[in-house]
Amino acid sequence: MIRCPNPECQAINPEGSDYCASCQTFLPHRYLWAAGQGKLGPEHLGERYAWQHQRVVLDTQPGLPPESPEPMPAEVWPYLMLAPHSLHMPQPYALLNAGTDHELLLLDVAAIAPRLGERKPRLLPTLREAWQSASSLQQLSWLWQVAGLWPDFTEQQIASSLLGDQLRVQGSLVTLLALPQDTQPLTLEALGGFGKTLVAQAQPSIREFLESLCTQLIQGDIATPEVLVTCLDQAIVAAAAGYQMDYGLAVQTDQGPSRKRNEDACYPASGTSQTHAVGPGPQNNPPLLLLVCDGIGGHDGGDVASRLAIATIQQQLAPLLEQLSTQATHDPVAVTLAIEQAVWAANDQISQHNDQGHRQARDRMGTTLVMALVIGVQIYIAHIGDSRAYHIGPTSCRQITFDDDVAAREVRLGYGFYADVAHRPGTGALIQALGMGSSASLHMSVQRLILSEDTVLLLCSDGLSDYDRVELFWQTQLLPVLRQQAQPATAVTNLVQLANQYNGHDNITVGVISGRIQPLKSSPSSVAKPAPSELLTPTLSKTRPILQPELQPTEVQPTEVSVAAPSPKNSPWPILVGLVGVLGLATAITMLVFREGPMAFPPLPASSSPQAVQDSSEVGIADDELASPSLAPRSYLQLIQPIALLSAPQLPTVASEDNALGQLPTGTVVQVLTRQDLAADQSRWVKLKVCTVNGQQSSGQALTGAAETGPNGTDVAPEPSESPVTLPTPVPLTSGSEGWILEARLAPMARAAEALTCPSN
C-alpha cells in the first residue's frame, strides 16, 4: 500500500495504482535497494518500508522526507562525494538500524528497473549478462563509461564495484547497484583482468582490439585512465562508421500563466523542429546544437541575461560547428575546450553588462544554462545552474545534470541525504549562474554520452522539472518519441502545456532531441589495435577558437595554432582549479540565487573595458537595455538631447495632446524610477523624475539637439535623433516632475550621471 503524498489527502492506495483514488495525485513508486551485510526481514524495515523481493523495498510514504543520519557513517561518504555521477550510481536515501548488526543503507535510483506497469520491479542485468547480446558499439560504450568512472572510484576506494556484479546496464548506460569498499588498492591492471573475461564474447569486429587493450593494461603499457579513454574514443569512432544515425530536434519556450514576461531563452528559436541524418563520411556529419537558458534578475534583466548567453554561445561555437560539418572525426578535448570557452565568454558578457550598469550584489542579472551538442554518436552536455538534462531510455528516465543549488552543495559537504536536504527551506537556491562573477570561479560541468541505442534527450528549465513533473510525464510523453510513435515537436508542445497546467509558477522551456541508430547493411570493419604510445600526449585539433585575454569575448576568432596538450595526468590545470576553488569557497557559499530574482552575490568592481556595452550589442540581442545599461531603476541620467515626456505610456500610433506632459532641455539630470512594458505592442517605457533643469527652451520652439562639451573642452555635436519632437503646447518641466518616455527614444539621448538627491513630491 502507498500513502498519497498530498498532505491534504493521505489516502491509502494499492501498490498497483499510479494515481490516488481519492484526489488523483500521482503516486511515486520509489523502489530502494537495501545495502548491508545483515539479514533483511520485515522486522528490520519499520512501518514505512515494505519488502518486495531479494533486497528491494518500497517506500510506502513517498511524500514524507526521510531523515538523514547524524553523524554521517564512513561507508556513506563515497556516495556523497560522487553525487555528480548520479547518472551512473545510486544515491543514499535512508539509513535504518544505524550502529546495529542489522544496519541497512537504502539506496535510491539504483540498478532497479521501474515498474512500467508491472506489479513488481526487477533488478537490471549485470554487464556480464548483457554483454554477449550487445552490439560492438554498445560494448565499447560500456567500457568507455567504466574507464571514465575509474579515477574517481579508485580515489574513493570503491573501484571494485566496477568489476563485479554491482556493475549493471540499463540500455546504453552503465549503473551501479551499490558501492562496496575495496579490500585492497586497485590499479588499471585489475581493470585489464576484468576486460579479459569479456573478450571471448565480444563482437568479432572489436575482439582483437579488446584483447590487445586488456593485455596492454595488464602489462602497464596503458598507464593512465586518460590514455585508456582516448584508446576507446578512437575505437568508438571506428565502430560508429558502421551505423546510420537519425536525429530529430524540437524546442519551445513559453511565458507561463503567472509571469509578466518570459525570462527563458533557447536556441534554435522557439517553435523550431528539424531532423538530421548522420552517416559515414564528412559530408553527412552535421552537428546539432540545443541551448536552454533560464534568466535570473526579474524584470530588470533576467530576459536580457538569458538571450545574451544564447547569442554569445551560439556565436562563439559557430566556427567550431562549421568545421565539424566538414569532418568525419573530431577531437573530444578540443570540443570540450571550445564549449568551455564559449560559456566563459557568455559569462563575461553578462558580467560586463552588470558592471556597466553598476549592478551590485542582489541586483546582478544572470542565467542558468544547459546545452547539448551532438556530433555523430557523441553527445556533449554542458550545464550551469538548475536547468536540467535527462536521458530517456526504453526503461528509464535518468537525470544527467546535477543541480548547482544549496541542496547539492550540502550533500557533498556531508550535511545530509539529498532526499532530506532538498526539502529544507532555502536549499533550492542556486550557488552559481552565468554572469555573477569572474569566469575563474565558474565551475561548469561538461559531460559526454555515446549514442549506442535509440535515445531521447530532454533539456528543460525548472518551470517543467519542479515538483518532479518530468518523472511524472516521461512515460506518456517521451517514450512514444523513443518508440517512433510521436514526433519530438508533439512531445515538446504537450510538455509545455502540462507544465503550465500542473506547475504554472514560472516560464517554461522544453527541448527534445531524439536519436535513432541503425547498422548499415555492409558488415562492420574490424577496429584497429590501440597504440597507446602515440596517445601519451594527445594533441588538440589544429584549428580551434582561442580566447585571448586582451579581447572582448565577442571578438574571439578561430586561430590556426598547433598546440600539444600536456598529458592529463601531469596537467597543472587540476591544481590551479583546486586553488581557485579553495580561494572562492567563501564566495560560493554565499552565492544564493532565488528564482524570483533576489540574490546574495558579492559586489564586483566596474568593468575596465569601455567597449563592453558596444560589444554586448554586437551579439545580436535586439533589446534597448543592452545599448544603455544605465537605464536601471534608481540610476541617474544627463540628457545630451532634449526630450519630451508623457503623462502615461501610450501606443506609438496613438497621438494625444492630453497625454503630453512637457519638455526637458539638454543638460537636465533625471532619475530613472521604473520601467514598464506595454502589453499591446511589447514596447518598454521608462518613468523619469526631474532632478535639475538647465537652459529652458523658449515656448513653441521645436526641441532639437544642442552641443555637448567634449573631453578637451570643444563642442561635440550629438547624434541626431530620429526626428525633432514637437509638443503641441510645449510646457517646460521643473524639478520634481515625473513623466514617461519610450526607452528606445531615451537611450540615445542620455548618458550616465553622478548620483544626486532628487526633490520629493
Place 454 in a pLDDT band, splitting at 50, 70 and 90: very high
Quote the cell numbers at residue 548: 585571448
Residue where the block lists cell 500500500 = 1
| Residue bearing the bigger pLDDT, 659 or 335 | 335
Is pLDDT at 380 greater than 60 in this prediction? yes
Residue 265 contacts by C-beta under 8 Å, 6 or more apart in sequence?
Answer: 253, 291, 292, 293, 295, 303, 306, 307, 309, 310, 367, 509
Is pLDDT at 756 greater than 70 in this prediction? no
Q: Mark which of 210, 237, 264 sits at the end of a domain.
A: 237
The pLDDT of residue 615: 35
Residue where the block lists cell 562563439 = 316
Is pLDDT at 441 greater than 50 in this prediction? yes
> Do 99 and 162 belong to one domain?
no
Domain presence at residue 615: no
> Do 223 and 264 belong to one domain?
no
Please check whether residue 687 is in contact with residue 634, taking contact to mean a CB–CB distance below 8 angstroms. no
The kind and range of the H/E element at 252 are strand 243-254
Domain presence at residue 410: no
CA nearest neighbour of 742 among 666, 681, 658: 681
Whole-angstrom Cα distance, residue 366 to residue 436?
6
The predicted model gives 160-187 an average pLDDT of 95
Q: Mark which of 88, 123, 158 sits at the end of a domain.
A: 123
Q: Among 119-128, 513-522, 719-728, which is the least confidently predicted range?
A: 719-728
> How many helices and strands (H and E) does the chain possess?
19, 33
Domain presence at residue 612: no
SS3 9: coil
| Residue bearing the bigger pLDDT, 354 or 589 | 354
The torsion angles phi and psi of 719, rounded to 5 degrees, stand at -65, 135
**pLDDT per position as a tens digit, 489-498:** 999 999 999 9
Place 335 in a pLDDT band, splitting at 50, 70 and 90: very high
Chain-centre distance for alpha carbon 5:
29
The predicted model gives 596-606 an average pLDDT of 32
Whole-angstrom Cα distance, residue 87 to residue 110?
10
The pLDDT of residue 119: 60
**pLDDT per position as a tens digit, 529-543:** 877 655 544 433 333
Is pLDDT at 622 greater than 50 in this prediction? no
Is pLDDT at 312 greater than 90 in this prediction? yes
The predicted model gives 73-84 an average pLDDT of 93
Whole-angstrom Cα distance, residue 122 to residue 716?
78
The predicted model gives 98-127 an average pLDDT of 82
Whole-angstrom Cα distance, residue 346 to residue 371?
13
HEC per residue, 358-410: CCCHHHCCEEEEEEEEEECCEEEEEEECCCEEEEEECCEEEECCCCCEHHHHH
| Residue bearing the bigger pLDDT, 678 or 642 | 642
What mean pLDDT value characterizes the chain? 79
> Do 360 and 273 belong to one domain?
yes
> Do 195 and 209 belong to one domain?
yes
Whole-angstrom Cα distance, residue 668 to residue 706?
12
Q: Which residues pair with 294 in a beta bridge?
A: 264, 368
Domain presence at residue 549: yes
Domain presence at residue 409: no
| Residue bearing the bigger pLDDT, 582 or 131 | 131
The pLDDT of residue 124: 93
> Do 214 and 361 belong to one domain?
no
> Do 133 and 114 belong to one domain?
no
**pLDDT per position as a tens digit, 181-207:** 999 999 999 999 999 999 999 999 999
Please check whether residue 127 is in contact with residue 142, taking contact to mean a CB–CB distance below 8 angstroms. yes
> Do 198 and 326 belong to one domain?
no
> Do 22 and 91 belong to one domain?
yes
What is the number of alpha carbons within 13 Å of residue 437 lying toward its C-beta? 21
CA nearest neighbour of 703 among 691, 718, 715: 718
Domain count, the chain: 4
Q: Exposed e or buried b for every residue in 522-557, given b needs 16+ CB within 10 A?
A: eebebbeebebeebeebebbebbbbbeeeebbbebe
Place 757 in a pLDDT band, splitting at 50, 70 and 90: low
> Do 143 and 47 belong to one domain?
no
The kind and range of the H/E element at 13 are strand 12-13
The pLDDT of residue 554: 34
User: In this structure, are strands 264-267 and 288-296 parallel, antiparallel, or unpaired?
Assistant: antiparallel
Place 326 in a pLDDT band, splitting at 50, 70 and 90: confident
The pLDDT of residue 581: 45
Q: Among 55-59, 391-395, 610-614, which is the least confidently predicted range?
A: 610-614
Whole-angstrom Cα distance, residue 203 to residue 613?
57
Is pLDDT at 729 greater than 60 in this prediction? no
> Do 224 and 255 belong to one domain?
no
HEC per residue, 143-207: HHHHHHHHHHHHHCCCHHHHCCCCEEEECCEEEECCCCCCCCCCCHHHHHHHHHHHHCCCCHHHH
Is pLDDT at 293 greater than 70 in this prediction? yes
The pLDDT of residue 724: 36
Q: Which residues pair with 623 in a beta bridge?
A: none
> Do 71 and 135 belong to one domain?
no
SS3 109: coil
**pLDDT per position as a tens digit, 126-147:** 999 999 999 999 999 999 999 9
**pLDDT per position as a tens digit, 10-42:** 999 998 888 899 998 888 889 999 998 767 777
Place 649 in a pLDDT band, splitting at 50, 70 and 90: confident
Percentage of the chain beyond pLDDT 90 is 50
Please check whether residue 27 is in contact with residue 20, taking contact to mean a CB–CB distance below 8 angstroms. yes
Is pLDDT at 514 greater than 90 in this prediction? yes
Is pLDDT at 696 greater than 90 in this prediction? no
What is the number of alpha carbons within 13 Å of residue 326 lying toward its C-beta? 5
Separation of first and last alpha carbons in the chain: 66
Domain presence at residue 621: no
Percentage of the chain beyond pLDDT 70 is 76
Domain CATH for 350: 3.60.40.10
The pLDDT of residue 685: 81
Domain presence at residue 380: yes
Please check whether residue 68 is in contact with residue 106, taking contact to mean a CB–CB distance below 8 angstroms. no
Residue type, 473: F
Q: Mark which of 99, 123, 147 sits at the end of a domain.
A: 123
> Do 480 and 505 belong to one domain?
yes
DSSP designation for 568: G
**pLDDT per position as a tens digit, 226-284:** 999 999 999 999 999 889 899 999 999 999 999 989 999 999 999 999 988 876 654 45
Is pLDDT at 149 greater than 80 in this prediction? yes
| Residue bearing the bigger pLDDT, 336 or 18 | 336
Q: Among 49-58, 409-418, 563-572, which is the least confidently predicted range?
A: 563-572
HEC per residue, 462-490: HHHHHHHHHHHHHHHHCHHHHCCCCCHHH
Whole-angstrom Cα distance, residue 38 to residue 48?
19
The pLDDT of residue 636: 81
Quote the cell numbers at residue 480: 512514444
Domain presence at residue 623: no
User: In this structure, are strands 378-384 and 366-375 parallel, antiparallel, or unpaired?
Assistant: antiparallel
The pLDDT of residue 357: 85
SS3 529: coil
The pLDDT of residue 717: 33
Domain residues for the domain of 219 are: 127-237
The pLDDT of residue 603: 31
Quote the cell numbers at residue 444: 561548469
The pLDDT of residue 630: 52
The pLDDT of residue 580: 39
